[in-house]
Amino acid sequence: MTTDKTTMKFEAEANQLLNLMIHSLYSSKEIFLRELISNASDALDKLHFESLTNTALIEEGGELAIRIDTDKEARTLTISDNGIGMSREELIANIGTIAKSGTKELLLRLREAKAESIPSDLIGEFGVGFYSCFMVADQVTLVTRRAGEEAATRWVSKGDGTYEISSDTRSERGTSITLSLKKVDDEDGIEDFTEPFVIRRIVKQYSDFVRYPIKLGVEREKEIDGEKQKVFEDETLNSMKAIWLRPESEVTDEEYNEFYKHVSHDWTDPYARLSMKAEGRFEYQALLFLPSHAPVDLYFKEYKRGLELYVKNVKIMDACENLLPEYLRFVKGVVDASDLPLNVSREMLQNSRQIAQIRRALTKKVLDTLEKKKSDEKEKYEAFFGTLGPVLKEGVGSDFENKDKIVDLLLFSSSNDKEAVTTLSEYVSRMKDDQEEIYYLSGESRQAIEASPHLESFENKGYEVLFFTDPVDEFVIPSLTEYQGKKLKSLGKGTVEVGSEDEKKKIKQDLEDKTKAYDPFLKALQKELDEYVSEVRLSNRLTTSPVCLVGGEHDMSPHIERLLKRNKMDVPKHKRIMELNPDHDVVQKLKARFDVRPQDLALADHAALLFGQALLAEGSPLPDSATFAKLVADLMNRGLS
Ligand code: ADP
Ligand code: MG
């Protein structure tokens, strides 16, 4: 009964994702069923939650369940649920557009790379649920009715860029999705999804733990009154057993992984799993997972963090945030506690003493697990840290109680090795006898830091320098300040002294003597560059470069400044210090010339050239690149004539 059919276009990004999905070479296409069941289960959960405050919702309709019906002749498969359903607007928003900014960004990158299908290692990052049914269906028809509403909506699409939407009727709330299946093609991973044994196997494999019954309508022959007759019966395919309540020895890794995929909406296996059981006065169980890659929306505001919270196997919260600190927001899983007070608001529950107690224990357990992973399987840990380390690092500044543990989990690249990363404790074990501080330098990339003039004298003396290339490092360092009693010292800020006490004294004296001789010259340069630098001074940190820029002890690093600017954030204007290498030919010649002709007009040009060089060396943009280019051209011209 359709009267008001409208054809609508998928949003550009949604269409792109749909196309990538259809053309993807994903080998296990059967997972479309897992995704549709997972959505149905979510819809039932949502109904359950809404009905807590609106009991009228649940009164209509029978047992909460998921149904699968097949039609061999018509080659269709229908999955239905009596969950929350969708209004027309919700349907357009949920299925026709992509809400997650993270997914959008990933799609943009794929478009830039002109990808025509989703590489199978990337597919997991999307967590594309609903669209996966187009891997096995030529056409998809969805009829849905929002709980509490009378009208239903029909949605039909061939996955070709458009969908049709119209009014419809549905006898009860919920959603039915009918797939017109593609031809069976074993090579392409398309089995006969109308066969009960195929469906049984897939449900058992991926969705056994789903808490609602998944019923398959089957046709059986029965003898009734001495006659063989065809009857239709429902068969429940899943055990519905809460996986965290089953003994670990009885659950396979695959089952745990599928459960992880359900709670996380991720398509890739987790990096680690941990389970916990607390007995005694306050009992609870937890089953947690650490993902193997950062969820696409992890850095976006909409990212939903938190663990599922159950009380005696009844889900009472979908995402309880207080069960873990924010820097562990990538952890997924469930907590089942038997003695939580249920007669309080969720707000009060979240802030209860019990939740705080569980949080402490879970945090410790996650950090201990990571420590063990780090020692047992360094390589895998490095991969994990590569994608989720930046989030973990936030904990250094926010979790005072566990700071030492977190710090020991951090990995950095350093001048010690071209590729291998190092922990702080490994760094300390390599420190030279006369070395008192842990040196680091921050920058955009390893390459940029290696080319930085600040590194020169340290490399020459053989001191190891940590490379801080992650933007979040800048925020971590202020709370790190020292490790095993050794202070962390930036080579790009303040003054640096290396070597033994005697050596340091000598260097200092030497620098003071030279500075006296250079003073008028330095002041003159400073005057020329007053707009950009607060001071021009001599340096002991350079060996081959003539010049570099350094920050005051507490200044923002140029790296973080660039980052803020790129994100169009306000950068407090501050001037840095320009340091000259008194042993460098250019500096010596310039000074000699200044001594003879202090009023030389060319001084301004040379000052600008030095400043420009210092900026280029650290990878910062020039304030006026056209003028700089002209100065260089003039210089070449003079050199050549
Ligand atoms: P995800 O499950 O990760 O949100 P999907 O692509 O699987 O992404 O689903 C997109 C959205 O469509 C869901 O978030 C939900 O709002 C809606 N949806 C899908 N299936 C159903 C269903 N059976 N009942 C109600 N809403 C659904
Ligand atoms: Mg889904």
Measured from the alpha carbon of residue 43, the closest ligand is: 1
Q: Which atom of ligand 1 is nearest to the CA of 40?
A: 23
List Cβ neighbours of 78 (8 Å cut-off, separation of 6 or more): 67, 68, 69, 70, 71, 176, 177, 178, 179
Residue 541, pLDDT > 80, answer no
Confidence of residue 272 (pLDDT cuts 50, 70, 90): very high
Give SS3 for 491. coil
What's the rounded Cα separation, in Å, for the pair 547 and 442?
18
In sequence order, the β-bridge partners of residue 162 are 9
The pLDDT value recorded for residue 500 is: 66
- Beta carbons of 206 and 34 less than 8 angstroms apart: yes
Q: What is the pLDDT of residue 564?
A: 67
pLDDT category, 616, cuts 50, 70, 90?
confident
Fold exhibited by the domain 501-640: Four Helix Bundle (Hemerythrin (Met), subunit A) (1.20.120)
pLDDT at site 64:
93
Task: Give the least confident one: 59-63, 100-104, 429-433, 632-636.
Answer: 59-63
Fill in the DSSP letter of residue 250: G
At the topology level, CATH places domain 404-490 in Rossmann fold (3.40.50)
* Closest ligand relative to 50 C-alpha: 1
Distance 38 CA to ligand 2 centre (A): 6
Task: Compute the chain's Rg from CA coordinates.
Answer: 32
pTM of the predicted model as reported, rounded to 2 decimal places? 0.78
Instruction: Tell me the average pLDDT across 318-335.
Output: 95
As its CATH architecture, domain 243-384 has 2-Layer Sandwich (3.30)
User: Which region holds residue 107: left if phi is over 0, alpha if psi is between -120 and 50, else beta?
Assistant: alpha
Q: What's the pLDDT at 429?
A: 96
- CATH code for residues 3-236: 3.30.565.10
Say how many Å lie between the CA of residue 360 and the centre of ligand 1. 33
Give me the percent of the chain exceeding a pLDDT of 90: 52
pLDDT score at 520: 93
Range(s) within the chain of domains with CATH label 3.30.565.10: 3-236
Model confidence band, residue 574 (pLDDT cutoffs 50, 70, 90): confident
pLDDT for residue 553: 67
Q: What pLDDT does residue 87 have?
A: 96
Assess contact for 333 and 136: CB atoms under 8 A. Answer: no
Residues of the chain with CATH 1.20.120.790: 501-640
613 close to 587: Cβ distance less than 8 angstroms: no
For a ligand 1 pocket test, name from 39, 81, 128 the mutation site with the most ligand atoms within 8 angstroms of its C-beta.
39
pLDDT band per the 50, 70, 90 thresholds, residue 27: confident
pLDDT at 569: 63
Count of alpha carbons within 13 angstroms of residue 19, beta-carbon side: 16
Task: Quote the mean pLDDT of the chain.
Answer: 88
Q: Is 35 in the pocket of ligand 1 (CB under 6 A)?
A: yes
Domain span(s) for CATH 3.40.50.11260 in the chain: 404-490
How far is the centre of ligand 2, averaged over its atoms, from the C-alpha of 91 (Å)? 14
pLDDT band per the 50, 70, 90 thresholds, residue 435: confident
pLDDT in tens, 182-236: 999 888 888 999 999 999 999 999 999 999 999 999 988 888 888 888 899 999 9
The answer, yes or no, to whether any atom of ligand 1 lies below 6 A from the CB of 87, is no
Residue 443: burial class (beta carbons within 10 Å; 0-12, 13-18, 19+): buried
- Most confident segment among 291-300, 495-504, 524-533, 612-621: 524-533
Burial tier of 56 (Cβ tally within 10 Å: 0-12, 13-18, 19+): exposed
pLDDT tier, 438 (very low <50, low <70, confident <90, very high otherwise): very high
Give me the half-sphere count of Cα atoms (radius 13 Å) on the Cβ side of residue 437: 16
CATH 3.30.230.80 maps onto the chain at: 243-384
Kindly give the pairing relationship between strand 412-414 and strand 465-468.
antiparallel
What proportion of the chain, given as a percentage, has pLDDT over 70?
Answer: 95
Please compute the mean of the pLDDT values over residues 281-293 and round it to a whole number. Answer: 93
pLDDT at 485: 92
